[in-house]
Amino acid sequence: MAAKNRIVKAYLNAHKKLVLSEQVKDKTDSVTISIPLHISGNHRVEVIVTEFSPGRFILSDMARTLGELAEGGKQITPDFRKRAEEIVSRFGARLVMNHMLIECDAALLGEAIHRLAEASKTIGDAYLLAHSQAPHARAVVDEVKSILHARQLPFEENVKLKGEIEDHPFDLLVPKNGRPGLAVAVIAGHNTHAQAKVWAFNCIDVRAAQTGNRIKLGIVLDEEDSAPWTKGSKKILRKGADIVASSGNLSELEHGIILHGVA
């Protein structure tokens, strides 16, 4: 227990030194908090906290998160905005004129700052991470193709499946043909809960747009250039995907193909 307390104390002390703050110019009731979390553009997450009435606070990212997405080439379309609203709502925030906002009282202020920072980082990471497959990820796609060929399952490549909110890219699609179809996406890059949440949402969105004998959704995790995906991240993915397999154990994918009646 003593070791645990020392470790937590050391982390909290370091965290305090890394958190920066300054008074907003000409606004005595507003403070900018710079938090030691970086989104993929390598910018710190910043939250502006304003006491708008005694004991009541409003927190904002000052539209910086969506602004950086736009600068990075992401089009802020009505469909994207709807999706962003759904993501930030999971953190108790709302989206107003591109600003992420949380209102709270003094007792919940610290927690609210953390939640807004998480919302900003989740969206920033998800959309600023450029999707360009590494050579090994393409090799994993080729391995999946070999499995489909061996089971005589015809497939299409580089397809987009319609979701309720927007279309989502998949590397391979086995069309429905008297049996459930199968769409497979190979996820490259590092294991993060943010990436897991985005792909779980993609799958949930696709499933919501389908009726009847729907297409099954498979996720293959390319673990060549990253640490193995955690049980927590895989659990998040399984909320949306029918099959979750690791690149080093594609028998999990084959088992799912049989289990879900694709072959």
What confidence tens digit (pLDDT) does each residue in 120-177 have?
988 877 665 544 455 667 889 999 999 999 999 999 999 999 988 888 889 999 999 8
Say if CB 101 and CB 93 are below 8 A apart: yes
Residue 127: per-residue pLDDT = 65
Between 193 and 185, residue with greater pLDDT: 185
Residue 78 pLDDT class (50, 70, 90 cuts): confident
Residue 27: per-residue pLDDT = 72
Residue 68: per-residue pLDDT = 78
Angle of the 135-150 helix axis to the 251-259 helix axis, nearest 10: 40
pTM over 0.75: no
Residue 130: per-residue pLDDT = 43
Mean of the per-residue pLDDT values for the chain? 86
Residue 178 falls in which region: left (phi positive, over 0), alpha (psi -120 to 50) or beta: left
The DSSP H or E segment spanning 41 is none
Residue 69: per-residue pLDDT = 79
Tens of pLDDT, residues 224-251: 756 678 888 899 999 999 999 998 899 9
Residues 6+ apart with CB under 8 A from 90: 119
Domains and CATH numbers, the chain: 2-128 (no CATH), 135-259 (3.40.1350.10)
Say if CB 39 and CB 68 are below 8 A apart: yes
Burial 195-208 (b: 16+ CB within 10 A, else e): bbbbbbbbbbbbbe
Instruction: Determine the length of the chain.
Output: 263
pLDDT of 42 strictly over 60: no
17 pairs with which residues across the strands?
A: none
Phi, psi of 119 (to 5 degrees): -60, -45
**Which residue carries 């987009």 as its tokens?**
160
Say if CB 27 and CB 60 are below 8 A apart: no
Amino acid at 194: A
| Closest among 196, 153, 160 to 174, alpha carbons compared | 153
Distance CA 239, CA 197 (A): 9
Handedness of CA 124, 127, 129, 130 (dihedral sign): negative
| Closest among 171, 192, 186, 191 to 137, alpha carbons compared | 186
pLDDT of 200 strictly over 80: yes
3-class DSSP state of 68: helix
Amino acid at 236: I
Ranked by mean pLDDT, the top range of 17-26, 51-60, 206-215 is 51-60
CA 159 to chain centre: 20
The DSSP H or E segment spanning 182 is strand 182-187
Residue 192: per-residue pLDDT = 67
Q: What is the mean pLDDT of residues 28-40?
A: 82
Tens of pLDDT, residues 84-124: 898 899 999 999 988 999 999 999 999 999 999 999 988 87
